[in-house]
Amino acid sequence: MEFRELKVPGAWEITPKQFGDSRGVFLEAFKEGPFVESVGHALDLRQANSSVSAAGVVRGIHFADVPPSQAKYVMCPRGAVLDVVVDIRVGSPTFGQWDTVLLDDTDRRAIYISEGLGHAFCALEDDSTVVYLCSAPYAPGREHGIDPLDEAVGIAWPSEDRAGRPLELLLSDKDSAAPGLREAEEQGLLPRYDAVQEYIATLRR
């Protein structure tokens, strides 16, 4: 299992070793030792979610108040999604930057998105299934969103699906109505970089 930190600090791409034979494939989807070695603390699993999306569906950009926020270890056991992490931590050296990882049922990579970061993805195939291991339970009053099409963020969403056909982006009403990055900052919704770092430090003790 290989961990690679993305250009947004606090997010990692995880590539598992796959063992295949005539029966199929086996892999370790999560392993505590390599995770702790890379991230610096254990994953305190409090909730596991799953979503199934049609091609073109965009979910996000979602985030939660810090503390405790909601770190996510995300996998795609069926289909394919372009997964996106966005640095929304006010005061971060990489504030507003984003990076992507292709999650699919071929390479079977995962992405870990630590506390205080924004998360979104776009499904590249019908019935793409995403599984999230979360460090905190869903708390509606602490959950927020940023418009995934916000030009200030400038995510380069895919224009073609997994088969190379034109892709039409589909957003929920809630995500479409979410504020842009600057508006969310002005409203005081975004986490502060120093507060996020202080909270993550408590997880490493």
Active site residues: 62, 132
Strands of 114-159 (E only): list them: 118-123, 128-134, 143-145
Report the b/e string of 15-44 with b at 16+ CB within 10 A. Answer: ebeeeeeeeeeeeeebeeeebeeebebebe
CB count within 10 Å of CB 171 equals: 18
Residue 67 tokens read as: 């503390």
- Spatial distance between the Cα atoms of 65 and 68, rounded to a whole number of angstroms: 7
Residue 202 tokens read as: 């408590």
DSSP run (H or E) holding 197: helix 193-203
- Spatial distance between the Cα atoms of 190 and 47, rounded to a whole number of angstroms: 23
